[in-house]
Structure 1
Amino acid sequence: MRIFTFMRPLYKDYANGAKTSYMTLKVYTFIGRLIRHIPDKHFPMIRYAGLFSNRWKKQYLAQARTALSLPESDESNENTKSLWAERQTDYTGINPLQCPNCDKPLTFVGYFFGNWNPLQHLFEKAGKDPTIAVALLRPG
């Protein structure tokens, strides 16, 4: 059986005169004690408390900015977020929602997941067997 020794810096053993203590445990004992701190599957966790709670966030962030000598945040930038198409147009110079051939707006049809082939969709619309499309794309 393996033995695991670790230092516990977050806790002072005042019975020993506030010295940092070391603990030696068997590995299985250590893992058992560690697993106790993992919450159950549907255990409600309080994540947004203290500094990150909505009630106090602006006040605490303003205090933190002044303490760190950072400039005030410009809240107008948060409200004017650009859309995905605008960002893509600015980056590439091409509007992704406009047809490159006829300049008409493109219409969203749907997502294709997994191994679904758009050619199969066209064959189904035409009333043909969609497995033909797969056979056409196979090499050889």
Structure 2
Amino acid sequence: MIAFKHKDYRHGGNKVLHTLRTIDFIGKSIRHIPPHYFNVIRHFGILASRVKEQCKEITDRILESAPEVDEVPNWRERRTAFRGVDPLTM
């Protein structure tokens, strides 16, 4: 037997104590597992609507102050610098 409390919104949000057989508890829990390859949108953490604006402001500030990154030379420029000969005009 498993006993647990939860908010019962049908009866004013009062906490209710439930006692279920183990097999029934597992069956009710398994219903909440989505099928394979089913996309579920999560609404917690930085995606929670009550903190989304605060997190967005913080990430915008972080991204604004990101240092400039030097452009990396492409393979042709690297090969020319290493060998001293342009690989496309050999």
Task: Give the TM-score of the pair, scaled to structure 2.
Answer: 0.48
- Flag the structure with larger Rg: 1
Higher relative contact order (CA 8 A, sep 6+): 2
TM-score, scaled to structure 1:
0.34
